[in-house]
Chains A and B, each alone.
Chain A
Amino acid sequence: MVRSTADYRGGEDDMMFIRSFIFFLGVLATLLLGWAGLVGIPNFMISEVQAPKGLERYTYEQSFGRSIYIREGCLYCHSQQVRPVGFGADQERFWGRPSVPADYVYDKPHLLGTMRTGPDLFNIGARQSSEDWHLLHLYNPRIVSPGSVMPPFPWLFEEKISAAPDDKVIMLPDSIAPKGKVVVATREGRALTAYLIGMNHTYPVSQVRAQNDTTKKK
């Protein structure tokens, strides 16, 4: 209805205004309450969390590697969070102690992930610290992990006639190695590997988290 002073119909219009007001207020309130409860208040509570002693800041190279991790979308198949005892088999698979908020203070953006097409990587550096293994795996995952469905990342490598002294050459099986050339990791490939090897959150933390996410006892 076009509303103007001339059209004013008294109480009926007032009721309409009040009803609209309640609608808009209600709609605003529901969303903002949800935000406050799920994000605002937790953000305030957790902002006090200090980095644990054992957690180091990312080096420049690791940070760069982390940006490659994001660029290639690793987060769509790998989580970075360890589940506690009694919830899944993370503890039985020795994927590290349950992760706590303090482990993530240097992470921006967060890479917690929601999918485990591949295994959790929160402590991959502790499980597999060989740079050669990681480079081979990135070049073609099926060389070291038969049956894997992970994509290959050949653009993190280049083929050269001969390697320079500070190049990292990867040792490919003869069947797929290019003839007369060597394959070396690019700066990006080495940075990503440095990030992965640095993923080690096995240091002790004061805040323990166990059995808190399940109602059932094993």
Chain B
Amino acid sequence: MAVQTTSREQFVSFASPTTEEVSEKQHRVEIDDSVTSPVVLYFLTGIWWLVFGSLAGLLAALKFNLPDWLGGTPFLTFGRIRPVHLNAVMYGWASLAGAGMIVWLTSRLCRTKIEETWALYVSAILWNIGVAFGLVSLFFGYNQGMEWLEFPKPAGGLIALGFLFFAYSIARTFRQRKVEHLYVSLWYILASLIWFPLLYVVANLGIYHGVTEAAMNWWFGHNALAVWFTPIGLAGAYYFIPKVIGRPIYSYYLGLLGFWAFALFYNWNGIHHLVGGPLPTWLVTVSIVASVMMFVPVMAVAVNHHLTTIGHFKMLKYSPTLRFVVFGSMSYTAVSFQGSIESLRSFSEVAHFTHYTIGHAHLGVYGFLSMILFGAIYYIMPRIAKWEWPYPKLIKLHFWMSAIGIALYFVALSLGGWIQGTMMNDPSLPFIASVNATKPYLWARSVGGTMMLIGHLAFAYQFLLIIYRSGPTRYVPAWFDLRQTTVEEKTI
């Protein structure tokens, strides 16, 4: 094995390749080339919204610690920064980075070049205009007044239109597929292409009022996670874990069970956000039952991924992608189990209405989804930019900042939120006691948030380097601890 080869493709194959392998590789490079520009566009704009959104998030967090700081500026008041944060990271970062990952995954899994590239450019542009327009509106206070549906209708419409162009290109690519077998990741992707537009249309029918509008609101809010964000994360986990390890997914049938149980139960969960509220009791009960049933798909996914990885945990030491994706998968299991338990009435009585829920939400969207997206981007970019990540140390910094940041964030808010809920439910204490008790935990949360932001800056900086092909030239993948890796390479 020659270490001093000139391309990564050669480095990875240790035996001299057969003609078939060469043409296979050539084909893969052609496929990757076909998606380069749209995927980079999605990732680049996504990462911009990530940095912007985490700044907004940190500002919102600090507002709890220093309520009078910047208190005279209407644009920066908590009630406007908070929806800016949520919408920037969900509809900006997670959606755009997710769309980029889906484009790459679809063409790889269908073994064909991407179709209708123009539609992807149109989609990315419309989507970004929609997000930017929506965020500016929120800064000026034009808020629809419903969580997850804050963007004014025109901004939401632009994003929906962008989604349709995106779905069109993916569907056309799927039609041209050169494979007989559809991999699990593709099921989630295809399903989300149908679910998400349908969800958006149904939520905007405008036939709801009073408490049913609240039911619709939380059916939509929870389903945005169920039918778009979680499928992105699971598609990524299902692809990258076996891919990096180099062995097939443990069980196809477990994947099938997981998928249909997911489809069946997840979209009945939303009303658990209104436990204790003025809705018919049976409605909330149905949602709690469905939330508990989520144990089935979550166990199926967790077992499948664990049994795929087992015996190869050593690779977490070397592969940045695997490290991020496995962290994400473990968070998925943890956050889903937590969610099922959280929906129970006796638990909700304390945890609902408190910071506990905020911690749970971040474990899901950050610990699970964002970590998988980071891993995906670390895997995809060298293949489409034809340039290795210049600084593995920065990847390491990013990983630890994100991992410790979210851990601190989650632990602080879970503890603080629980204490807040307990005090709130104790009528012998004045309400303000529940506010005062959370203060140290909210400081810890801000520290966690700062760490995540530092990680994102390292990530964004290195992303710029890779698209400009700057930094030291590498002939080998940017694995961690490369010196030790040379021995292990043969098994990879």
Q: Do A and B bind each other?
A: yes
> Which residues of A pack against B, CB within 8 Å?
1-2, 23-24, 26-28, 30-32, 34-35, 37-39, 42-43, 45-47, 49, 70-77, 79, 81, 83-84, 87-89, 92-93, 98-101, 103-105, 107-112, 114-119, 140-142, 145-155, 209, 212-216
Secondary structure at chain A's binding surface: helix, strand, loop or mixed? loop
CB-CB nearest 10 A-B residue pairs: A73-B79, A92-B427, A71-B141, A34-B267, A116-B353, A104-B210, A70-B145, A109-B145, A43-B212, A30-B263
Complex interface: chain B residues within 8 A of A147 (CB): 432, 435-436
Complex interface: chain A residues within 8 A of B77 (CB): 72-73, 151, 153
Min C-beta distance of B53 to chain A, whole Å: 16
B470 contacts A by Cβ under 8 Å = no
12 more contacts with CB within 8 A, not counting A43-B208, A71-B79, A108-B210, are A23-B191, A37-B268, A39-B202, A39-B208, A73-B83, A87-B276, A89-B424, A93-B431, A109-B145, A151-B78, A152-B72, A214-B346
Complex interface: chain A residues within 8 A of B279 (CB): 42, 101
Complex interface: chain B residues within 8 A of A100 (CB): 278
Interface residues of B in 123-145 (CB under 8 A from A): 141-145
Complex interface: chain A residues within 8 A of B223 (CB): 31, 34
B156 contacts A by Cβ under 8 Å = no
CA distance A185 to B305 in the complex (A): 60
B178 contacts A by Cβ under 8 Å = yes
Q: How many A-B residue pairs have CB under 8 A?
A: 226
Q: Mark B200-229, 1 if CB is under 8 A from A, else 0.
A: 001000011111111111010001000100
B454 contacts A by Cβ under 8 Å = no
CA distance A208 to B456 in the complex (A): 51
Complex interface: chain A residues within 8 A of B270 (CB): 38
Residue pair B208, A38 in contact (C-beta under 8 Å): no
A-B contact pairs, 27 of them (CB 8 A): A2-B176, A23-B187, A30-B264, A31-B267, A32-B198, A34-B267, A38-B271, A39-B208, A70-B145, A73-B83, A76-B147, A88-B349, A88-B353, A105-B210, A107-B210, A109-B144, A111-B145, A112-B274, A117-B64, A142-B67, A142-B68, A149-B64, A149-B439, A149-B442, A151-B71, A152-B68, A214-B345
Q: Which of B77, B215, B278, B353 has the most CB of A within 10 A?
A: B278
| Nearest A residue to B426, CB-CB | A89
Q: Which of A77, A87, A149 has the most CB of B within 10 A?
A: A149
Complex interface: chain B residues within 8 A of A155 (CB): 72, 74
CA distance A56 to B171 in the complex (A): 52
Partner of A73, one of B143, B217, B275, B355: B143
Min C-beta distance of A59 to chain B, whole Å: 19
B11 contacts A by Cβ under 8 Å = no
| Nearest B residue to A95, CB-CB | B431
Residue pair B219, A103 in contact (C-beta under 8 Å): no
B80 contacts A by Cβ under 8 Å = yes
Residue pair B353, A114 in contact (C-beta under 8 Å): yes
Min C-beta distance of B217 to chain A, whole Å: 7
CA distance A42 to B270 in the complex (A): 14
Complex interface: chain B residues within 8 A of A216 (CB): 346
CA distance A77 to B431 in the complex (A): 13
Complex interface: chain B residues within 8 A of A45 (CB): 280
Complex interface: chain B residues within 8 A of A105 (CB): 209-210
Residue pair B219, A39 in contact (C-beta under 8 Å): yes
Complex interface: chain A residues within 8 A of B202 (CB): 35, 39
| Nearest A residue to B434, CB-CB | A116
CA distance A87 to B223 in the complex (A): 27
Partner of B278, one of A70, A76, A93, A209: A209
CA distance A114 to B349 in the complex (A): 12
Min C-beta distance of A131 to chain B, whole Å: 22
Complex interface: chain B residues within 8 A of A84 (CB): 276
Q: Which of B67, B142, B264 has the most CB of A within 10 A?
A: B67
CA distance A132 to B355 in the complex (A): 31
| Nearest A residue to B209, CB-CB | A108
Q: Which of B281-289, B319-327, B472-480 is near enough to bind chain A?
A: B281-289
> Which residues of B pack against A, CB within 8 Å?
63-64, 67-68, 71-72, 74, 77-80, 82-83, 141-147, 175-178, 180, 187, 190-191, 194-195, 198-199, 202, 207-217, 219, 223, 227, 260, 263-264, 267-268, 270-271, 273-281, 283-284, 286-287, 345-346, 349, 352-355, 357, 424-427, 431-432, 435-436, 439, 442
Complex interface: chain B residues within 8 A of A75 (CB): 79, 145, 147
Min C-beta distance of A39 to chain B, whole Å: 5
Min C-beta distance of A95 to chain B, whole Å: 10
Residue pair A42, B215 in contact (C-beta under 8 Å): yes
CA distance A109 to B178 in the complex (A): 48
CA distance A148 to B436 in the complex (A): 8
| Nearest A residue to B276, CB-CB | A83
Min C-beta distance of B153 to chain A, whole Å: 12
Residue pair A88, B276 in contact (C-beta under 8 Å): yes
Complex interface: chain A residues within 8 A of B352 (CB): 114
CA distance A134 to B231 in the complex (A): 46
CA distance A105 to B278 in the complex (A): 12
Complex interface: chain B residues within 8 A of A153 (CB): 77
Partner of B212, one of A34, A39, A148: A39
Complex interface: chain A residues within 8 A of B276 (CB): 81, 83-84, 87-88, 213
Complex interface: chain A residues within 8 A of B64 (CB): 117, 149
Residue pair B213, A108 in contact (C-beta under 8 Å): yes
Q: Which of A109, A112, A141, A216 has the most CB of B within 10 A?
A: A112
Residue pair B424, A34 in contact (C-beta under 8 Å): no
Residue pair B268, A34 in contact (C-beta under 8 Å): yes
| Nearest B residue to A46, CB-CB | B212
CA distance A31 to B197 in the complex (A): 11
CA distance A38 to B215 in the complex (A): 7
CA distance A73 to B144 in the complex (A): 10
Q: A35-B219, A89-B425, A107-B210 are in contact. Are A1 and B145 (CB under 8 A)?
A: no
Residue pair A76, B283 in contact (C-beta under 8 Å): no
CA distance A30 to B198 in the complex (A): 12
